[in-house]
């Protein structure tokens, strides 16, 4: 038999991913939609000699051109050679869920409707007449429980049937006489152009009435565009006169009117809604007084678990690699080969692996928060601050806070944000949150130059990072992200006990994706830096005569206006791109002092004044984050554009701020 | 714009905790994106909305409509007029 290709569609939080995991098990692959930052999960299963390929579409409320996620889903339904769409619906929320269903029906999609979370709905005394619903919609409807696999067998049988006998689901859709007739007038004009008929003409007509940008563009290219738009304008004016509303509103009203009809016929609800557990929990969790303390407590817990548990494991891995390195040195002696293994490969692989504990732990936490429904509450509680300060969605708060621990999980956590532009902007400012790897650099310089005000100096660096992030976000919104509106509108899903399997699968997927995709970039970059630091043959690793050293010497004058125009600083900054911890180690090596004792302090005082040391720390705080962060942005956005943008923005920012601090300090007499 | 001098018509963001209203009009004030999104989420004429809560910092607000909870910012709710249901 032929392969079957189906898409899973539905609102967010309806259990789509749970069903997808249930159906495909470990036969899945997570990637991105071509050229998009939107995640694409594909998988397959075998059923009755068919291979059923399943694509998990993004969770959407509608199929407008409103967001990239919606466009992705729509394109899949329209363009891709799929046999069938499975529409997952939450039994507790039929009305709003059906709004998406209706839009897929407008496209004439071959549909199966899967009603999920029935147990919970029955508890609330919602009863759905499945047979009646099947009849009224004209497409198969089946009840399942995604979390435990109930109804899966029946669903697969229906899939097989529906693939063999596709139905045009637009047939049962009725929009009342008034609108229906007008739509037909418009359809007549559309149907004259065959090239517009890869989708139902009625759908094109509806989308035109909804002022859908993409469809308008498409129709503009038609030979008959003038006629079509003339008719459209006439129709919009007419509808406006009759209803006193915009055509978009009228279409939405008709859709909901159709749904109301369906609900009346098929759903029985209690007279007075039962108070749900979710209502009770929300009374406490987003309470005026307790809301923020609870949020802080949860955030604190995530931090503790991620970094307090993760860091020792991280150190253990580091330690293991160090021992391994020492053994290799003993066995092979101090040759270029052992240097390649120790400095290049172990350094690189170690760099990747040391991130794993915190990435796994962080994703574990985030998955639990997201699946349980709390993440949306956190965004609700924190939105005002985020919106006021950086003009971002409340959901940006957690990723940014995680950035103080490590930029990499912070960037990965932006996945919880729905809108691409919000995500990108958040990713670009997370590096300014001073990550924990920068702390050793501060500690090193503070100990050398600011013995009295250690704490205050370090605190000031964190604050500079936050203030710069706010300013950069502001500037980006005025330039690169011009016209970006980030509406807050967000559903508060009901609380659920996250499933162990779901959370673990999610965590594993993310960790694995990091190793596979970011890992290769980090490794390659580390080896390149090694080669540059070891050539020409015979030089001491990273010495001034090495290529890295020569580059450092060459670019050093650029940093003169910032107060640290010496080649050692330039080289340590180059190494700092591999990872920030190395900055300090580099100084150690460069000065030929093994242990950082008084010797190194004296040498440092020859290179820096307190002012230039401070400017240097600010530069380290703000400039290019490590390769791992750059690789993560590449992995998350699926293009080199955004990581490069990040490199440029952070470098420019670091240079500007350090320049202001150093030159300003000199003017004020701190030189 | 006809200005109904009806006291029981309010902006959605002016409701008090627990108050209910049905949507009578939705002026997008040029923010078409937002309106389109909200229409899809069920903010159509005649929908009944319950005002549930304000966030701890005073914004956004939590509402219930069509059997589910949603939160929006006050300035997003401002242009939605509702008729109080008692
Ligand atoms: N009780 C119950 N919970 C479910 C069911 N299906 C999914 N969930 C839970 O609902 C939450 C959201 O599910 P998910 O699959 O991530 O939804 P998606 O956003 O549609 O992909 C998770 O916490 C799931 O464990 C179900 O059939 N019954």
**CA angle, corner A378, sides to A57 and B50, nearest 5?**
85
Q: Which residue of B has its CA nearest to A248?
A: B36
Q: Which of A108, A111, A120, A169 lies closest to A144, judged by CA?
A: A120
* pLDDT higher than threshold 60 for residue A317: yes
- pLDDT at A33 (0 to 100): 75
The arithmetic mean of pLDDT across residues A232-253, rounded, is 89
Q: What angle do CA A219, A205, A238 make, to 5 degrees?
A: 110
Rounded Cα–Cα distance for residues B43 and A380 (Å): 19
Q: What is the pLDDT, as a whole number, of residue A594?
A: 41
Intra-chain end-to-end CA distance of chain B, in Å: 26
Judging contacts by C-beta atoms under 8 Å, the chain A residues touching residue B44 are 249, 252-253, 256
Q: Which helix (H) or strand (E) holds A669?
A: none
Q: What is this model's ipTM?
A: 0.91
DSSP letter assigned to residue A516: I
Q: How far is CA B61 from CA A104, B74, B76, in A?
A: 31, 7, 10
Residue among A282, A290, A492, A247 at smallest CA distance from A394: A492
Q: In ligand 1, which atom is closest to the CA atom of A145?
A: 27
Report the pLDDT averaged over residues A261-268: 92
B36–A286 C-beta distance less than 8 A: no
Alpha carbon A287 to chain centroid, angstroms = 28
**Residue B31 contacts A, CB cutoff 8 Å:** yes
3-class SS of residue A153: helix
d(CA A403, CA A625): 11
SS3 A142: strand
Query: Which CATH code for domain A2-172?
Result: 3.40.50.300
> Which residue in B has a C-alpha nearest to residue A376's C-alpha?
B71
- The residue ranges of every structural domain in chain B are 2-85
| Cβ separation B55–A291 shorter than 8 A | yes
pLDDT tier for residue B7 given thresholds of 50, 70 and 90: low
Per the DSSP assignment, residues forming a β-bridge with A6 are A54, A84
- What average pLDDT does the segment A393-400 reach? 87
CA of B20 to the centre of ligand 1 (A): 30
Which pLDDT belongs to residue B33? 79
To the nearest whole Å, the CA of B57 is away from the closest chain A CA by 7
The SS3 of residue A244 is coil
Chain-chain contact of B31 with A485 (C-beta, under 8 angstroms) = yes
CA nearest to B57 within chain A: A384
Nearest CA to ligand 1 atom 8: A15
Spacing, Cα A219 to ligand 1 middle (Å): 39
Residue A141 has pLDDT above 90, yes or no: yes
For A329-350, write each residue's pLDDT tens digit. 888 877 777 777 777 777 767 7
Model confidence band, residue A31 (pLDDT cutoffs 50, 70, 90) = confident
In angstroms, rounded to a whole number, what is the distance separating the alpha carbons of residues A536 and B63? 68
Using alpha carbons only, give the angle A182, A187, A193 rounded to the nearest 5 degrees. Answer: 155
Domain regions of chain A by residue span: 2-172, 177-268, 291-480+568-622
What is the predicted pLDDT for the residue at A599? 62
Rounded average pLDDT over A291-317: 84
Whose Cα sits closest to atom 7 in ligand 1?
Answer: A15
Helix (H) or strand (E) holding A128: strand A127-128
What pLDDT was estimated at residue B6?
59
Q: How many CB pairs under 8 A join A and B?
A: 122
Ligand 1: residues whose CB is within 6 Å?
Answer: A 10, 12-18, 59, 116-117, 120, 145-147, 371, 496, 498-499, 502
Hey, is the C-beta of B64 within 8 angstroms of any chain A C-beta?
A: no
**Which of A637, A574, A114, A204 is closest to A414 using CA atoms?**
A637
Lowest mean pLDDT among A425-439, A509-523, B17-31: A509-523
CA of A16 to the centre of ligand 1 (A): 7
Check pLDDT > 80 for residue A267. yes
Rounded Cα–Cα distance for residues A50 and A48 (Å):
5
The mean pLDDT value for A213-232 works out to: 90
- The answer to whether the CB atoms of B76 and A99 lie below 8 A apart is no
Q: According to the model, what pLDDT value does residue A565 have?
A: 86
HSE (side-chain half, CA atoms, 13 Å) at A421: 17
Query: Does residue A504 carry a pLDDT above 80?
Result: yes
Instruction: Search chain A and give the residue with CA nearest B2.
Output: A244
At A551-599, the pLDDT tens digits run: 888 888 899 899 888 888 888 888 888 877 777 767 766 665 444 445 6
- Say whether pLDDT at A513 is over 60: yes
Question: What are the respective helix, strand and coil percentages of chain B, to the nearest 5?
Answer: 20, 40, 45
User: Cβ separation of B60 and A488 shorter than 8 Å?
Assistant: yes
CB atoms within 10 A of CB A660: 13
Share of chain A above pLDDT 90, in %: 34
Q: In the structure, how many helices (H) and strands (E) does chain B have?
A: 2, 6
Mutational test site, ligand 1, from A119, A496, A501, A505, max ligand atoms within 8 Å of CB: A496
8 Å CB contact of A485 and B33: yes
User: Facing residues of B26 across strands?
Assistant: B80
DSSP H or E segment with residue A118 = helix A118-123
pTM of the model: 0.83
Four-residue CA torsion sign, A530, A533, A535, A540: negative
Residue A412 · residue A359 · CB < 8 Å: yes
The CATH number fitting domain A177-268, selected from 1.10.287.1770, 3.40.50.2300, 3.40.50.300, 1.10.287.70: 1.10.287.1770
Q: What pLDDT score does B2 carry?
A: 45
Which residue, among B69, B72, B73, B77, would best test binding to A if mutated, counting the most A CBs under 10 Å from its CB? B69
A84: pLDDT strictly greater than 90: yes
What's the CATH code, domain B2-85?
Answer: 2.30.30.90
pLDDT tier, A229 (very low <50, low <70, confident <90, very high otherwise): very high
């Amino acid at each position: 038999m032929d392969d079957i290709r189906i898409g899973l569609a539905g609102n967010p939080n309806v259990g789509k991913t749970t069903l997808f995991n249930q159906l495909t098990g470990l036969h899945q692959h997570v990637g991105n939609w071509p050229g998009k930052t939107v995640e694409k999960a594909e998988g397959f299963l075998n059923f009755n000699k068919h291979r059923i390929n399943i694509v998990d579409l993004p969770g959407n409320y509608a199929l407008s051109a409103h967001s990239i996620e919606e466009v992705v889903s729509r394109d899949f339904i329209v363009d891709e050679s799929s046999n069938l769409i499975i529409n997952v619906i939450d039994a507790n929320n039929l009305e709003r869920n059906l709004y998406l269903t209706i839009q897929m029906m407008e496209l004439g999609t071959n549909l199966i409707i899967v009603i999920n979370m029935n147990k919970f709905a029955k508890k609330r005394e919602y009863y759905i007449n499945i047979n009646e619903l099947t009849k009224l919609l004209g497409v198969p409807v089946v009840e399942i429980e995604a979390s435990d696999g109930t109804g899966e067998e029946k669903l697969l049988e229906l899939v097989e049937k529906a693939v063999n006998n596709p139905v045009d689901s637009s047939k049962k859709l009725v929009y009342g006489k008034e609108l229906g007739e007008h739509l037909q007038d418009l359809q007549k004009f559309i149907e004259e152009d065959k090239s517009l008929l890869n989708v139902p003409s009625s759908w094109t007509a509806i989308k035109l009435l909804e002022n859908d940008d993409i469809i308008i563009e498409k129709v503009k290219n038609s030979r008959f565009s003038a006629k079509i738009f003339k008719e459209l304008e006439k129709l919009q004016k007419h509808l406006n006169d009759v209803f006193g509303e915009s055509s978009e509103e009228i279409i939405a009203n008709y859709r909901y009117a159709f749904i109301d009809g369906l609900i009346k016929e098929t759903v029985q609800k209690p007279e007075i809604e039962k108070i749900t557990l979710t209502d009770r929990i929300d009374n406490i969790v987003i309470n005026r007084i307790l809301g923020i303390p609870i949020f802080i407590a949860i955030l604190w817990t995530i931090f503790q678990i991620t970094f307090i548990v993760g860091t020792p494991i991280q150190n253990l891995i580091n330690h293991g690699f160090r021992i391994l390195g020492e053994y290799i040195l003993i066995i092979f002696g101090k040759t270029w080969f052992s240097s390649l293994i120790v400095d290049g490969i172990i350094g690189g692989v170690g760099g990747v692996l040391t991130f794993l504990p915190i990435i796994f732990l962080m994703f574990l936490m985030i998955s639990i928060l997201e699946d349980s429904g709390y993440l949306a509450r956190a965004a609700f509680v924190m939105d005002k601050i985020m919106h006021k300060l950086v003009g971002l969605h409340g959901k940006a708060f957690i990723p940014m806070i995680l950035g103080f621990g490590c930029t990499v999980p912070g960037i990965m956590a932006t996945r919880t944000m729905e809108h691409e532009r919000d995500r990108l902007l958040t990713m670009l400012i997370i590096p300014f949150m001073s990550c924990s790897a920068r702390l050793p650099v501060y500690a090193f310089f503070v100990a050398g130059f600011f013995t009295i005000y250690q704490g205050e100096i370090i605190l000031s660096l964190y604050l500079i990072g936050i203030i710069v992030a706010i300013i950069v976000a502001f500037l980006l919104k005025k330039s690169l992200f011009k016209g970006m509106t980030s509406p807050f509108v967000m559903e508060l899903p009901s609380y659920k006990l996250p499933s162990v399997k779901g959370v673990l699968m999610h965590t594993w997927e993310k960790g694995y994706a990091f190793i596979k995709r970011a890992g290769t970039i980090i490794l390659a970059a580390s080896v390149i830096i090694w080669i540059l630091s070891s050539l020409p043959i015979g030089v001491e690793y990273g010495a001034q005569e090495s290529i890295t050293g020569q580059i450092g010497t060459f670019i050093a004058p650029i940093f003169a206006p910032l107060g640290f125009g010496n080649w050692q600083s330039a080289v340590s900054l180059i190494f700092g791109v591999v990872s920030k911890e190395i900055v300090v180690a580099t100084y150690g090596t460069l000065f030929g002092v093994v242990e950082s004792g008084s010797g190194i302090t004296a040498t440092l005082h020859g290179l820096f004044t307190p002012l230039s040391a401070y400017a240097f720390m600010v530069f380290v705080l703000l400039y290019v984050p490590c390769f791992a962060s750059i690789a993560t942005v590449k992995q998350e956005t699926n293009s080199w554009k955004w990581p490069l943008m990040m490199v440029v923005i952070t470098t420019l920012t670091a240079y500007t701020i350090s320049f202001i601090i150093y030159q300003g300090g000199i003017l004020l007499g701190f030189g | 714009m006809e200005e109904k001098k009806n006291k029981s018509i309010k902006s959605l963001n002016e409701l008090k905790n627990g108050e209910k209203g049905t949507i009578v009009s939705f002026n997008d004030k040029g923010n078409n994106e937002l309106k389109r999104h909200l229409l899809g989420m069920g903010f159509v004429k005649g929908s009944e909305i319950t005002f549930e809560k304000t966030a701890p910092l005073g914004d956004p607000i939590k509402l219930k409509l069509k059997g589910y909870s949603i939160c929006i910012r006050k300035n997003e709710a401002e242009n939605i007029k509702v008729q109080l249901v008692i």
